[in-house]
Amino acid sequence: MKRDPKHRGRADKWVQITHEEAFDLIEKEYKRITAKYGRKSCVVFSGTGREGGGMNPYATNVLRTPNMCYTQSGYACYLPRLASAAYIVGVVYPELDYAGGLPGRYDDPAYEVPECLILWGKAPLESNPDGFFGHAVIDLMRRGTRIISVDPRVNWLSTRADHHLRLRPGTDTALGMALLNIIIKEGIYDKQFVESWTYGFDKLAERVKDMPPEKAAGICGVKMEDIYAVARMYATAKPAAIQWGLAVDQKANGMQTAQCIISLMSITGNIDVPGGQILADINGNVNEVGYNMDQGIGDDFNLMIGLQEYPACCQVTFQSHADLTLKTLETGKPYPLKFGFYAGNNLLSCTSMEPQRWAKAINESLEFCMTIECFMTPTAEATCDLIFPLATICERDGTVFTHYGGSPVTIGFTNKAVEKQGESLSDLEFVYLLGKRLHPDLWTDCKSVNDFIDKLRLGGRYKFKDVHKLVSVQHEVKYRKFETGDLRRDHEPGFNTPTGRIELYSTIFEQLGDDPLPYYVEPKYSPVSTPELLDKYPFVLTTGARVIGFFHSEHRQIPYLRELNPNPLVEIHPKNAAKLGIADGQWCEVYNQFGSAKYKAKVTCAVDEKTIHAQHGWWFPEDDGNAPNLYGTFRSNINNLIPNFHFGKLGFGAPVKCMLCNIKPITESYDTDMALVWKKFGKGE
């Protein structure tokens, strides 16, 4: 469907056109805009990983722009963890070894069940994140693994944990430093591993003296004895593992939390051992994208927004910096952005902080904007001029990669369940056809979209037609690869870092202008850094802990799933609720100096008395789509309260899980009319 740009935000102005007409329109706009402003004026907005996520680089390839942008402030998802590991260990995200890829699984002779598992800011039963399947934690618990939870909130796993450190959101680095402090002071680390395979241990030992456990206890709001108990339990368990989640990324100080967590794994000798943290085989592994990043872009790569300012972030993500992209949209500097393409991103409802600011900036800057989507979303409604219907993963054969190809485990093949509906295209078909249209010289060796998938998606290693019957392809799992040379391109023993060792003192952080050792900084807005705001905003706000029924902003229009969670919920402790006159199920306003959002109260001890938790990703597909309502997406949008531009020195992180706020009851009710949801989106059941 297309719509005149002057009618952006008008749900009744879409006109259905053919694919041919749509590609004509794109070609015309692309040629017009790039002739005037250059190809760099194109921007691809991306969201979280999914099959089409592998498409984003191809999309930049097709538009030949250096600007692909995952629009969450500070790229605060997964990449801070991947990047810190890449810089410090030389391999991306060290995952818990859950016996994936071993023929005998948990009973394989090569495997050992971890004695202890720390779940740090991750809730794998709800989130099954990044290729990890949460049930593995239960499987391991059945085989004896003891759990430690580091999480301000209570969840199913934390209630089964030996220790639950309910720290104040955003203070993780203080805790990490204190754990290192104890383990080093008590000598309960793996001296041989430290001696042979790490760099900078003495400097780390000196640094963590700054964070004695009594100090961390005060900062984090947990008992000092519990910090000691956790340090001793983790360090003396053999093997032991840490699963570290999104809470690490969603703070400006997150790279330092990551640094502490990697240091904990390393000094206890749990890196690349059975039941510890598994590392990818750097030479034998498939990577998801299997493709040459600067194909067709050449030196324009250097024009990427944010590359000069935050190379640590942009070089490793191959993406322009979100916050600086927002600034560029607002100012037209260093050059204007004019042509937009959303590839799996609903930034108004979910991905981006200060969403109204993003919407305004996009609409004022972009002359043309398009998307390929499964649903009409608030973002497409507000800002797009062209929308292609997407064939979902149920309607096509596809590929998925666990851990983004960063671990030695599997590639999965998904086989379609139903025939394609209507005139939809898959992401890969779309980008293939668009590439052929805009640059007939591109992918000349691909005669069909299947050739394109084999070449670019599967990196030439597999043929889709041969392997989709397998459902999953497993790689051989090897341990202690630092001894055999499989962790370095030159096949020498050691790690793929400048010193060849795990850098507890990070020479790369130092080169990039950050402190080589971990340090604690308070969140920008917190009871400690802004005590003057406490009268007005007495609660710490954390957001977005995953729920089973929704994937971010998706599935609100699937009545079966919406029934599980019909309204946006904010969690508040019973004592606070009583004090503020908030009843369970009452509508409230959550607010701070940046904005407000309306939520239904869930009065629960899952949060403590200092903390409030609000769900993310809300919009109401049953509501009026016309601007300014836009399916009610700004009404219950917790990102109204979270500012951009509060990332760390290297360009990573955002205060998504550590802001301040207040909450008050309101008299209006916004209860979802489930009968209406069923009527609009159900099939009459």
Q: Which two tokens stand for residue 353?
A: 């902080």
Does residue 670 contact residue 587 with C-beta atoms inside 8 Å? yes
Alpha carbon distances (Å) from 433 to 58, 98, 197, 441: 12, 40, 49, 13
Binding flag, residue 269, ligand MGD (CB under 6 A): no
**Would you call 144 exposed, middle or buried from its count of C-beta atoms within 10 A (0-12, 13-18, 19+)?**
exposed
Main-chain phi, psi angles of 400, to 5 degrees? -135, 145
Instruction: Name the binder of 204 from Mo ion, ligand MGD, none, CB < 5-8 A by kind.
Output: none
Minimum Å gap between C-beta 101 and ligand MGD is 21
> Which H or E run includes 302?
none
Q: How many helices (H) and strands (E) does the chain have?
A: 25, 22
The option from ligand MGD, Mo ion, none interacting with 350 (CB < 5 to 8 A, set by class) reads ligand MGD
Q: Which stretch binds Mo ion (CB under 5 A): 10-18, 41-49, 361-369, 442-450?
A: 41-49
Question: Closest approach of Cβ 48 to Mo ion, in Å?
Answer: 5
Residue 71: other Cβ atoms inside 10 A: 28
First and final CA of the chain: distance in angstroms? 30
Give least dist CB 78 to Mo ion, A.
6
Taking the complex as a whole, how short is the minimal distance between the CB of residue 290 and Mo ion, in angstroms?
A: 22
The residue (of 40 and 122) whose beta carbon lies closer to ligand MGD is 122
Q: Nearer to ligand MGD by C-beta: 305 or 614? A: 614
Any contact of residue 259 with ligand MGD (CB under 6 A)? no
Residues between 351 and 380 with contacts to ligand MGD, criterion CB under 6 A: 351, 372-375, 377
542 binds ligand MGD (CB under 6 A): yes
Nearer to Mo ion, 48 or 499 (CB): 48
Strand partners, 118: 148, 242
Site for ligand MGD in 132-191 (CB under 6 A): 150-153, 155, 169-170, 172
DSSP per position, 163-222: EEE-PPTT-HHHHHHHHHHHHHHTT-S-HHHHHHHEE-HHHHHHHHTTS-HHHHHHHHTS
Give whichever of 386 and 545 is closer to ligand MGD, judged by the CB atom.
545
**Pair 643, 655: CB distance under 8 Å:** yes
Token pair for 617: 């990703």
- With CB under 5 to 8 Å by kind, the binding choice for 543 among ligand MGD, Mo ion, none is ligand MGD
Query: What number of chain residues touch Mo ion (CB under 5 A)?
Result: 2
User: If 0-12 CB within 10 Å is exposed, 13-18 middle and 19+ buried, where does residue 445 land?
Assistant: exposed
Q: Give which of 403, 564, 424, 475 is closest to 102, Cα–Cα.
A: 475
Euclidean distance between CA atoms 210 and 176, whole angstroms: 12
Residue 633: count of CB within 10 angstroms of its CB: 29
Closest approach of ligand MGD to the CB of residue 392, in Å: 7
| Residue 63 touches ligand MGD, criterion: CB under 6 A | no
Nearer to ligand MGD (CB atom), residue 84 or residue 198: 84
Q: Which does 345 bind (CB under 5 to 8 A by kind): Mo ion, ligand MGD, none?
A: ligand MGD
* Residue with the two structure tokens 């790229």: 75
Enumerate residues 420-459 that contact ligand MGD by CB under 6 A. Answer: 427
* 152 C-beta neighbours (distance < 10 Å), count: 29
- In this chain, which stretch among 26-34, 277-285, 346-354, 585-593 interacts with ligand MGD, using CB under 6 A? 346-354
Q: How many CB atoms lie within 10 A of CB 515?
A: 15
Chosen from Mo ion, ligand MGD, none, partner binding at 75 (C-beta under 5 to 8 Å by type): none
408 contact choice in ligand MGD, Mo ion, none (CB below 5 to 8 Å, kind-dependent):
none
Which residues ranging from 71 to 90 are in contact with Mo ion (CB under 5 A)? 77
For residues 549-588, which are near ligand MGD according to CB under 6 A?
550-554
Rounded Cα gap, residues 338 and 251, in angstroms: 31
Site membership for Mo ion, residue 322 (CB under 5 A): no
CA 525/CA 531 separation, integer angstroms: 9
Q: Which of 79, 316, 541, 658 is the binder for ligand MGD (CB under 6 A)?
A: 658
For ligand MGD, which is the closer residue by CB, 110 or 548? 548
Nearer to ligand MGD (CB atom), residue 63 or residue 303: 63
What region, left, alpha or beta, does residue 574 occupy, with left being phi > 0 and alpha being psi -120 to 50 degrees? alpha
Footprint (CB under 6 A) of ligand MGD, residues 97-136 = 120-124, 126-129
Residue 656 binds which of ligand MGD, Mo ion, none (CB < 5-8 A, kind-dependent): ligand MGD
Q: Which residues contact 163 (CB under 8 A, 6 or more apart)?
A: 148, 149, 226, 229, 230, 233
Which residue from 11, 37, 48, 558 is in contact with Mo ion, where contact means CB under 5 A? 48
Provide the sign of the torsion angle of the four alpha carbons 559, 560, 566, 571, taken in this order: negative
Nearer to ligand MGD (CB atom), residue 399 or residue 672? 399
Least Å distance between CB 46 and ligand MGD? 8
**Which DSSP letter does residue 476 get?**
P
- Stretch near ligand MGD under the rule CB under 6 A, chosen from 18-26, 195-203, 528-536, 545-553: 545-553
Kindly state whether residue 252 participates in binding Mo ion, applying the rule CB under 5 A.
no
Binding site for ligand MGD (CB under 6 A): 47-48, 50-52, 72, 77-78, 120-124, 126-129, 150-153, 155, 169-170, 172, 245-247, 343-346, 350-351, 372-375, 377, 390, 427, 542-546, 548, 550-554, 616-617, 638-639, 656-658
* Site residues for Mo ion per CB under 5 A: 48, 77
